[in-house]
Structure 1
Amino acid sequence: MFSYYLLAAVIVLVDQLTKYLTVQNIELHDIIPVVPDMFSLTYIQNTGAAWSILEGRMIFFYVVTVIVVAGIIYNLHKYGHESKLFAVSLAFVLGGALGNFIDRLAHQYVIDMIRLEFIDFPIFNIADAALTVGVLLMIVYIFFFEEEKTQKQPKKD
């Protein structure tokens, strides 16, 4: 179980380090091309969620994050030992949720910097990427492995 919390902690550390480096090295709203027409770094301060939805609703984000983190910890302890994939997905979501929560508490906004130039997609950060990976892993688990687990359990008469 400890290894899943360690994974979440590494995600938080990498997220916070990239945010620190962004603030120290890129001016707000500046664009630094990395791979032309594909990927750039752009420092923004997001007071909402993706595409700035729910902008400025910090209390909402605090409450939701506390509920989500509590749910993740509960599920990790109760069911994490049953599937490594399930536990890893929860660790990614936990790390991502905490990474953005730290920003909201410290700054009242989230530091975003990763910009994909080839699609109309919001600028994001490592925590957002971890949340996305965690949710995708959870979907894979639910659709491909959860059913196998329930089929293996003996039927109750």
Structure 2
Amino acid sequence: MKEIKIDTKILVFHSIEELFVEDKDLMRKAVEVRKNAYAPYSKFKVGAALLLDNGEVVVGSNQENAAYPSGLCAERVAIFYAGAKYPGAKIIKIAITAGATESVTEKPIPPCGACRQSIFEYEFKQETPIEIFFMGETGEVYKSDSIQNLLPLTFDKNFL
């Protein structure tokens, strides 16, 4: 038997105000698009904003459906739109914010497992890491330099 040790590095900012200007602007776009979420069932709204290497910013919000699991998370809405509209562009960073409509969400909310896998698929395809910033509605912002900090044992096309 052997043991595998997995290290994860996350930077913690006390608030959105501590971020660099570009990152703060991206997070503010995620906050703004969170308002467009369609979340009548979970009452949990999520917004995501991607910065692409061509300078474009693509946004997405979660879109639920009564026929679960037909809805889609904000991160995947943005990622898939970026892939469809700008197929040759690389994703440089993604900002994610989430909050419940019936209470204040102060803790950073990371991407769900399906979104982590989708982010990894693009990171693997483009062969460059994607910076990930995530927060609740207010409070601390976490930053990961790559999805591999959040999904260390990845599954890619090489297993198929």
State TM-score, norm by structure 2.
0.28
State TM-score, norm by structure 1.
0.29
Greater helix content? 1
RCO (CA 8 Å, sep 6+): is it higher in 1 or 2? 1
Greater strand content? 2
Larger radius of gyration: 1
